[in-house]
């Protein structure tokens, strides 16, 4: 697994989050999707546990992935692109000691920000029903463990609470207050149900800490643009699963067309050709690099 030195992060995400404009981070799931997002000009990328489950396992986001699987995907992404990656570490894959192992592994693999949530294990997607959360004190201990484990302050820790669906909005905000008091670098109140709740979260936290908004097509939170969310006070905006949903929709159409027509003719205008794809991934440059060494 290719690793990046934790003392030399890809770039300073901390400095970017100090700016007034919201940071829009699209979801990625492998090195190719990360490369395409970087080429589109995004300043940060978001690797969700759900996207790893969807693409690596063909399964739902219900706690089936492991820390090693996520770290392996992250390392391949960080080796290919320079754009900072925010990575979803789910519950930390265990107790506080497991959290520390996870933080160290993800930091070595190239994470710029590591997200930890307060669900019980096995966790599930934040927009699925039937979630449960651990005690606030236990989560605070896990967050302190994460902060102690990182080798560089430039590796940011993002605390997520899923308590809104379980305990209500005010309880979720109280948990977020407790998590902020541990010294985390950003907050994420998952699955806010209304614009009023989104505005309430911003009014309470946005002046003190970067707050993340999660946009899930078909999920519980009202969809908005990064510009609209930035005006509310959110500083990080993610569309974590939209990439895989777009991919799945496109591949359904492609495979249906291939099966029906026994060829790719009807899809040629919606595809890159051989040279086009090689241009995107840098094949000419890679071959030229090999020739420098007589290969």
Residue 213 and residue 193 in contact, taking contact as beta carbons nearer than 8 Å: no
Angstrom distances, CA of residue 147 to CA of 38, 75, 112, 121, 190: 28, 21, 13, 21, 21
Q: Set out the domains of the chain in order of their start, with CATH numbers.
A: 13-241 (3.20.20.60), 248-292 (no CATH)
Residue 31 and residue 236 in contact, taking contact as beta carbons nearer than 8 Å: no
Q: What is the largest CA-CA distance in the chain?
A: 65
| Per-residue pLDDT tens digits of the chain, which is 295 residues long | 334 344 344 448 999 999 999 999 999 999 999 999 999 999 999 999 999 999 999 998 888 899 999 999 999 999 999 999 999 999 999 999 999 999 999 999 999 999 999 998 877 665 666 679 999 999 999 999 999 999 999 999 999 999 998 999 999 999 999 999 999 999 999 989 999 999 999 999 999 999 999 999 988 899 999 999 999 999 999 999 999 999 999 999 999 999 999 999 999 999 999 999 999 999 999 999 999 998 7
Cα-to-chain-centroid distance, residue 106: 12
Residue 237 and residue 25 in contact, taking contact as beta carbons nearer than 8 Å: yes
Q: Say what the pLDDT of residue 3 is.
A: 40
Q: How many CB atoms lie within 10 A of CB 35?
A: 18
Bond preceding residue 122 cis, omega within 30 of 0:
yes
Q: Say what the pLDDT of residue 219 is.
A: 82
State residue 247 phi and psi, 5-degree precision. Answer: -60, -45
Q: Say what the pLDDT of residue 4 is.
A: 39
Whether the pTM exceeds 0.85: the reply is yes
Angstrom distances, CA of residue 265 to CA of 248, 253, 259, 260, 275: 20, 13, 12, 11, 17
Residue 92 and residue 99 in contact, taking contact as beta carbons nearer than 8 Å: yes
- The H-assigned helical ranges of the chain are 13-17, 31-39, 49-52, 67-80, 96-109, 136-149, 164-167, 169-181, 195-205, 226-232, 242-261, 274-281, 283-292
Residue 83 and residue 34 in contact, taking contact as beta carbons nearer than 8 Å: yes
Q: Say what the pLDDT of residue 127 is.
A: 67
Q: Say what the pLDDT of residue 123 is.
A: 78
Q: Say what the pLDDT of residue 12 is.
A: 86
Q: Say what the pLDDT of residue 183 is.
A: 98
Residue 90 and residue 280 in contact, taking contact as beta carbons nearer than 8 Å: no
Q: How far apart are CA 225 and CA 214, in angstroms?
A: 11
State residue 150 phi and psi, 5-degree precision. Answer: -70, 145
Tokens of 14: 């901390």
Q: Say what the pLDDT of residue 122 is.
A: 78
Q: Say what the pLDDT of residue 162 is.
A: 92
């Amino acid at each position: 697994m290719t690793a990046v030195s934790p003392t030399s992060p890809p770039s300073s995400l901390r400095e970017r989050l100090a700016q007034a404009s919201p940071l829009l981070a699209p979801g990625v799931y492998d090195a190719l999707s990360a490369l395409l997002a970087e080429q589109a000009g995004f300043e940060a990328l978001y690797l969700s546990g759900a996207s790893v489950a969807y693409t690596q396992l063909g399964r739902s986001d219900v706690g089936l992935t492991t820390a090693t699987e996520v770290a392996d995907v992250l390392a391949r992404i960080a080796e290919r692109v320079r754009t900072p990656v925010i990575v979803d570490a789910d519950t930390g894959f265990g107790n506080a000691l497991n959290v520390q192992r996870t933080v160290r592994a993800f930091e070595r693999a190239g994470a710029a920000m590591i997200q930890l949530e307060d669900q019980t294990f096995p966790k599930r997607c934040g927009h699925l029903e039937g979630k449960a959360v651990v005690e606030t004190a236990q989560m605070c201990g896990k967050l302190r463990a994460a902060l102690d484990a990182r080798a560089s302050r430039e590796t940011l820790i993002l605390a997520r609470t899923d308590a809104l669906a379980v305990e209500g909005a005010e309880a979720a905000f109280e948990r977020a207050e407790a998590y902020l008091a541990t010294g985390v670098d950003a907050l994420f109140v998952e699955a806010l149900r209304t614009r009023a709740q989104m505005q309430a979260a911003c009014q309470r936290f946005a002046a003190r800490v970067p707050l993340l908004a999660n946009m899930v097509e078909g999920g519980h939170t009202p969809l908005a643009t990064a510009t609209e969310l930035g005006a509310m006070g959110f500083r990080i905006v993610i569309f974590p699963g939209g990439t895989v949903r777009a991919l799945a929709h496109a591949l359904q159409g492609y495979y249906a067309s291939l099966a029906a027509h026994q060829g790719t003719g009807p899809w040629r205008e919606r595809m890159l050709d051989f040279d086009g794809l090689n241009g995107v991934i840098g094949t000419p440059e890679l071959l030229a690099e090999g020739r420098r060494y007589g290969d």
